[in-house]
Structure 1
């Protein structure tokens, strides 16, 4: 399926947001996620299904000043 991940089109096989993070090797990372502009809590990722054309944003916290 084709997803738009952080603004870039990618063909990836993932049925849920949690599986997408695993496929991107981010499954154990602390990240914030949004699906089609709506925030998705970490506890809801397993039950959040994806469909062709969905837009996913994945953000990682950074330190600095």
Structure 2
């Protein structure tokens, strides 16, 4: 399926947000996720089914001050 990940077109095989996080190599990283502008908590990633054309944002927290 084709989706946008951080504004980059991607063809992916994952069916869920949790699967996508794993497919992209972020399974061990501390990240935040959003789909079509809506924050998706880590606890909901396995239940969140991806669909063609979705916009997924994956961001890592930044440190600093």
Secondary structure of the 1:34 match is strand
SS of residue paired to 1:63:
coil
Where structure 2 has 5 or more consecutive residues not aligned to the other structure, the ranges are: none
Flag as ranges the 4+ runs of structure 1 deviating above 3 A. none
Q: Number of aligned pairs?
A: 65
C-alpha RMSD over aligned residues: 0.7
| TM norm structure 2 | 0.95
Unpaired segments ≥5 residues, structure 1: none
TM-score, length-scaled by structure 1: 0.95
